[in-house]
Chains A and B, each alone.
Chain A
Amino acid sequence: MKLTLKIWRQQNTADKGRMVSYELDDVSPDMSFLEMLDILNERLILEDEDPVAFDHDCREGICGMCSLVIDGTPHGPEKATTTCQLHMRKFKDGDVITIEPWRARAFPVIKDLVVDRTAFDRIIQAGGYISAPTGSAPEAAAIPVPKDDANDAFDAATCIGCGACVAACPNASAMLFTAAKITHLGLLPQGQPERYDRVTAMVDQMDAEGFGGCTNTGECTAVCPKGIPLETISRLNADLLKAYRG
């Protein structure tokens, strides 16, 4: 396959940045999207050019490091799939592909396609934990959890913190990410002691980081590689209302 890539290049946070076009021949449909970028980078390094910086780690869809807004869609055209698990067979010979970083004030660009997502870490630090004593694993049947709650909590816990929800949101809101953690911990007995302090603190931190508010459009869930459902946001809202009312 022959492709034209339009890639966002930005030297550092202070740099203004710009789109740069690259032509790439001999792309195999079996390559992953990131392998395709690796090929481009090998060429750039041989030409003594600066390779394109992009985030990645596990390349198996579980770590949440990879990102990229591909033709306007975070993680590209395949539903419920991270960029690292996206393959070039989803594209056609001769395609022009636009590749941009997550765009949000709370996610400043570090270089090229790499953004700083530590805002998410600080939201978690604000309350996304439980104060259970650690030590040896407790006996599994000691604290019964209704099956439906366990299912919903587990679904919410699959969030990998990638930030695609923020990138897709017309308001650059971090609600889906935050709500996934609120739902995960709020449905389980271990999460109850801090339940209402957690939601207030995490929402405050989310606002302080400069994310936008939620308008319930569902753009986030449509791109989420883990299919975190919209109801998590409503669960967060319910907990916050309860916390505010006291």
Chain B
Amino acid sequence: MRDVSSVTRSTPVATRPRPKTPSSAAGPLKRYRSSVGRKVVMAVTGAILFLFVITHMLGDLKAFLGREDFNHYSYWLRSVGAPALPHRVFLSSLEAGLVVAVILHIWAAVSLARQARRARPVRYAARPKVHENGYATYVMRYGGVVILLFVIWHLLDLTFGAVNPKGENATPYDKVIADFDPARWYITLFYIVAVILVGLHLRHGLFSAVQTLGWGRQGRYPAIRLVADVTAALVVLGFVAVPVGVTIGVLK
């Protein structure tokens, strides 16, 4: 039956949304709670974590220079600045900085993901076709969760030794060799999968950070994407080298 009487205006004038605290009135830090502000937080902390990932990867590759070099690097990290700085002060400050970056990065990601979920209460019946890079959203969100779980495992493994076959008192090199023994192929596989997810995360993350920080322009996009893709690929190769090196016996 035809029925027009039941058609209602959806937003009565009185209930129209108004921003709670306008950013212009919010404090210099509270402003960054807007959707774009949280992206900026994500981009800046992501850049810090990216620098960590690069340094970490280069540090790992020292394993190919031999047991002494690798262990010495680990020792050096803890004794930087000695005797002026007490043992581990340098490393612990870096670690504290990384923890803050990780927390802010995840806070921004989770709150934006929840906002996005609320923003589309009814989903499409026809699966929305992906026209561009729409999958990136899922790669970042679900991949990010897996990377976090991996980092927790990884700290228990190679930093604290709790889940490492050699326990906590072995040297870093021995822990790595024990970790990726061919018999423990599933651990190696887990590391490889996690590192590939890190690569995919960086691939979109690097591009996205440039865009969020305001430097994206039509003419620059091909170059930005190329740099992001190549960097991500190098990170994956660099990180995969050590576990695979151990498994195939190049490192022992």
Question: Which residues of A are interface residues toward B (Cβ below 8 A)?
Answer: 6, 8, 11-15, 17, 19, 45, 48-51, 53, 69, 71-73, 98, 100, 103-106, 108-111, 116, 118-119, 122, 168, 170-173, 197, 200-201, 203-219, 221-223, 229-231, 233-241, 243-244, 246
Contacts and interface: CB of A to CB of B under 8 A. Distances in A.
| Residue with the highest number of chain B CB atoms closer than 10 Å, among A51, A110, A119, A171 | A171
The winner among A8, A49, A105, A197 for most chain B CB atoms within 10 A is A105
Contacts of A8: 125
Contacts of A223: 131
Nearest to A14: B8
Nearest to A240: B36
A173 to B, nearest CB: 7
Contacts of A170: 116, 128, 134, 137-138
23 contacts: A49-B2, A72-B124, A72-B129, A103-B120, A103-B122, A171-B116, A171-B120, A204-B23, A205-B17, A208-B20, A213-B36, A215-B112, A216-B212, A217-B132, A218-B131, A219-B131, A222-B132, A233-B216, A234-B214, A234-B215, A237-B213, A240-B34, A240-B37
A119, A216, A218, A222: most-surrounded residue (chain B CB, <10 A): A216
Given A234-B214, A237-B212, 4 more contacts: A208-B19, A213-B38, A215-B208, A237-B213
B22 A172 contact: no
A7 to B, nearest CB: 10
A17 B138 CA distance: 28
A104 B119 contact: yes
A118 B40 CA distance: 28
Contacts of A105: 118-121
Contact of A116 (B9, B34, B130): B9
B93 interface: no
A192 B5 CA distance: 47
B169 interface: no
Interface residues of B, number: 63
A8 B211 CA distance: 36
Interface in B120-172: 120-134, 136-138, 140
* A interface majority secondary structure: mixed
A244 B37 contact: yes
A116 B10 contact: yes
A173 B117 CA distance: 11
Nearest to A69: B124
Contacts of A109: 10
B126 A71 contact: yes
Nearest to B8: A12
Contacts of B214: 234-235, 237-239, 241
Interface of B: 1-3, 6-11, 16-20, 22-24, 28, 31-32, 34-40, 112, 115-116, 118-134, 136-138, 140, 204, 207-208, 211-218, 221
Q: Which 5 pairs from chain A and chain B are nearest by CB?
A: A238-B214, A234-B216, A222-B131, A213-B35, A212-B119
A172 B217 contact: no
A67 to B, nearest CB: 13
Contacts of B7: 11-12, 53, 110-111
B14 to A, nearest CB: 14
Given A110-B10, A170-B137, A234-B217, A103 B123 contact: yes
B137 A72 contact: no
Nearest to B129: A72
Contact of B11 (A72, A118, A207, A239): A118
Contact of A204 (B22, B32, B38, B124): B22
Nearest to A97: B126
A103 B214 CA distance: 28
